[in-house]
Amino acid sequence: MDDLLTRYNYDSFVPEKFEPWMNFEASPKTGTIGPDFPLWNLDQTPTRLSEIWSQHDYTVVEFGSFT
């Protein structure tokens, strides 16, 4: 697990370090309903993704770091 975290938290933004993590082909296509799963609000109260998307016309879920 430590090796996985070390590789994910790379020290420089160069293609050979971030490209192995890019797998957009396996991502759900725009407009498809994603799987439901538990989430926690910033105050640690539980919710579910389905509760979020039922309140909004569009929901964008971002995993990882796109900065």
| Domain with 43 in it | 2-54
CA distance 66 to 25: 17
Contact call for residues 33 and 41 (beta carbons, < 8 A): no
Say if residue 33 is exposed, middle or buried (CB neighbours under 10 Å; 0-12, 13-18, 19+).
exposed
8-48 pLDDT per residue, tens: 787 888 888 888 878 888 877 888 877 899 999 899 999 99
Model pTM? 0.49
Is residue 12 situated within a structural domain? yes
| Number of domain units in the chain | 1
Residue 63 has phi, psi (to 5 degrees) of -115, 140
Is residue 25 situated within a structural domain? yes
Is residue 64 situated within a structural domain? no
37-53 pLDDT per residue, tens: 999 989 999 999 999 88
Is residue 22 situated within a structural domain? yes
Is residue 63 situated within a structural domain? no
